[in-house]
Amino acid sequence: MTDPGVLPDTELMTRAHRWRYEAMHGDSDARHLAKIHEAEVRRRFGGAKDDLQSRRLRSKPWWKFW
């Protein structure tokens, strides 16, 4: 396996997506590889500061009106 740190951006994103897909569909070895590739994606692109999950953590729950 090629080290994710030396891959071009497009290949890194493709592999991260593919490994995550395989991990979600039951491949137990793919989970570890997906984590490695996703960590490199976060290192290169600064993480997902504006993704849906982080917005949920910052916002108030919908049932609190005040």
Model pTM greater than 0.85? no
The strand ranges marked E within the chain are none
Q: Is residue 25 predicted with pLDDT exceeding 60?
A: yes
- How far from 16 is each of 24, 53, 66, CA to CA, in Å? 12, 19, 41
Domain boundaries, the chain: 4-58
Residue with tokens 């997506």: 17
Please check whether residue 38 is in contact with residue 7, taking contact to mean a CB–CB distance below 8 angstroms: no
Q: Average of pLDDT values for 17-35? A: 92
Average pLDDT over every residue of 35-40: 92
| Residue 2 near residue 16, CB atoms below 8 Å | no
Structure tokens at 14: 């493709």
What is the pLDDT averaged over residues 20-42?
92
